[in-house]
Amino acid sequence: MEKVSSQVNNLIEKEFHNSEYMVLLKFEELAEEMSYTLESVMLNLGVVEYHVIETASYEDIDNELFSFLFLIDVTNCEFQKIIRAFLARHIDLEPYVMAELFIVSKDLSKYANLYDDRGMDFIELEK
């Protein structure tokens, strides 16, 4: 798992040209409120150094779900823990996080969608 998460980090560094980036976590629930807090999720992952930049939520009427978004600034070490936890959910390793993971450049020019242990999309946004 460490090798895979390290490879993911190297790809992100390469595609983002070593620029700074943030993490966007998207949690989905059946209820209008999250069944756990972001703080409890981060503590479970061992992530202690992070800063929440922005939060949002919306209702997906078609899928009858509520989505909760957290844009987070983390150190590279903490970023590694989040990547590992995201990938771990697909192979039942602890700790894991049940959320969608997006990596967003701080200048908002590109983002990556790490969708599972098989792939990642890089999207460059027009300015």
Tens-place pLDDT, residues 86-116: 888 878 788 888 899 999 988 888 888 887 6
Cα distances (Å, whole numbers) of residue 5 to 9, 19, 57, 95: 6, 19, 28, 14
11, two tokens: 């790809």
Cα distances (Å, whole numbers) of residue 67 to 2, 33, 47, 84: 29, 9, 22, 22
> What's the pLDDT score for residue 8?
79
> What's the pLDDT score for residue 116?
63
Residue 46 pLDDT more than 90?
yes
Task: Name residues whose C-beta falls within 8 Å of residue 118's C-beta, 6 or more positions apart in sequence.
Answer: none
**pLDDT tier, 3 (very low <50, low <70, confident <90, very high otherwise):** confident
Domain limits for position 74: 2-124
Q: How many domains does the chain have?
A: 1
Residue at 30: amino acid letter:
L
* Residue of 88 and 42 predicted with greater confidence: 42
